[in-house]
Structure 1
């Protein structure tokens, strides 16, 4: 085998795992396409000792630390093939390269599939945000929108009411809120708008107003969005492991997938996409991979 472990994905979960495995003197290859989902995010928050730093700076520092360990190698590229072979796995890249490994760790993140609204992609992770624990403090007490509907809109509005009292739910079409939820929201002075959105007017990703199809405008400081998500590559079909109902890679408490020898960590396994949780998952996966290798060799 070329490597003990191949890690597909070199962001926080992958880097954390590489650090742990490098310190365990394992031969590791990290394959990374260089397009993390938070590449537009100006500042990271709620990550101890790094609060307010740029995500790219955190990962660059982490990569420098990991590369101090001589058994860890990085390769820029996109892995698009993984198949089981005798004693491990064969991993292929888009450029035609192939490598073999005893164990495989997927830290591939997720693709955020945003509604097709003009300006939304440019605002994503800047002023179109998804998590109050990551971004809520920076826009507290401001006028905020929620681009969501149904039960999720109600639960998110209830949560955000801690940070913001001026909230508007933008259902972007007919409301799917129950009568009970609607009454409760109105009692908290939370507005519900069913007008269809045609554009987020913004300056360099900072939303200024929501423009509706009837010509109305709504000035906002930020807008919370719940995008659909998908895996970057259909490794589940190639390797035979399961996904959850939420399209996440199904893992146990040791970050093991339902396919033997295949582990996963980070955004691809959970909707709790904070850096601290993702980093911890990478460490856990690495420890469990190393334990499995030790057991096989002892």
Structure 2
């Protein structure tokens, strides 16, 4: 085998997995397309020791730390297909090459699908946001909105008043029960039934949304739950079980980050219904350690594939 472990994805989860394996002196290849989900955000918040740093700078620092370990290599590129080969795997790459590894850690994340509204896409990660814990504090208690796409909007709207005066834009997609309406009103949430037609503001800043009836509502930030999907289909090719989360499918893993396919582990947004940088790094740490233990205690992958708990 070329490598002990192939890690597909080089952001927070993938590099955290690589660190554990590097310290176990395993031969590791990190395959990375350089297109992390958080590339649109200017800063990452709530990540201990990295609060306020740009995701690109955090990733570069992690990679620099890993470069101190002689058994870790990075390779630019995407995985396009994979198959089981003996007691390991062979992965074909977009550049025509292939890689063999005894174990695989999937950490390639998810891609976001956004509503088709004028002015929204260019503000994604700057003033159109998905996580109040990551970005709400910096809005300085200015007015914020929630753009409904499904039932997650109610959850977001209940949380957001702690960060600023909140308006829920139902977009004709959410029908609130009397109890839900009362709960929102008890939190001071304004409910707007007229759909948002466009976002307005200078550059990537948000100043207001314009409604279909021509009215404008002043906002400093607009929150929504994006529809997500895995960034590639490698997990599906391997036969990993998937689960349905609040925004889309994710890879099922057990408490050790093992998938339902023996020898394959997954971490980060790809393997969690709750995206978060700190949680991604923690899951990557577990996945790397679990892959190492698998090499020791199940070297020939004789344990039966099972279902993640």
Range into which the TM-score falls when normalised by the shorter chain = over 0.9
- What is the deviation of 1:133? 1.3
List aligned pairs for 1:254-273, cutoff 5 A.
Answer: 254-273=256-275
Tell me by how many angstroms 1:184 deviates. 3.1
Q: Is the 8 A contact 2:106 2:235 kept in 1?
A: no
Structure 2 residue runs of 5 or longer lacking an equivalent are: 301-309
Aligned residues: 297
CA contact (8 A) 1:149 1:177 kept: no
TM-score by length of 1: 0.95
Q: Is contact 1:149–1:176 with CA below 8 Å preserved after alignment?
A: no
Superposition map of 1:90-239 within 5 A: 90-148=90-148, 151-164=151-164, 166-173=165-172, 175-239=174-238
Report SS of the residue matched to 1:39.
Answer: helix
Assess if the C-alpha contact under 8 Å between 1:144 and 1:223 holds in 2.
yes
1:67-106 equivalent positions in 2, closer than 5 A: 67-106=67-106
- Structure 1 SS opposite 2:284: helix
Q: TM-score, normalised by structure 2?
A: 0.92
Matched with 1:241 is 240
Q: What stretches of structure 1 move > 6 A for 4+ residues in a row?
A: none
Task: Name the CA shift for 1:238/1:276 in 2 (closer, same or farther; >3 Å).
Answer: same
TM-align CA RMSD: 1.6
Residues 240-271 of structure 1 deviation map (CA, whole Å, 9 limit, x = unaligned): 11111220100000000001111000010113
Counterpart Cα distance in 1 of 2:162 and 2:192:
21
1:88/1:150 CA distance change after superposition, 3 Å: closer
In structure 1, runs of 5+ residues without a counterpart are none
Mapped to 2, the partners of 1:73 and 1:174 lie a distance apart of: 47
Moved more, 23-32 or 175-184: 175-184
Of 193-202 and 257-266, the range deviating more from structure 2? 193-202
Q: Which residue of 2 aligns with 1:29?
A: 29
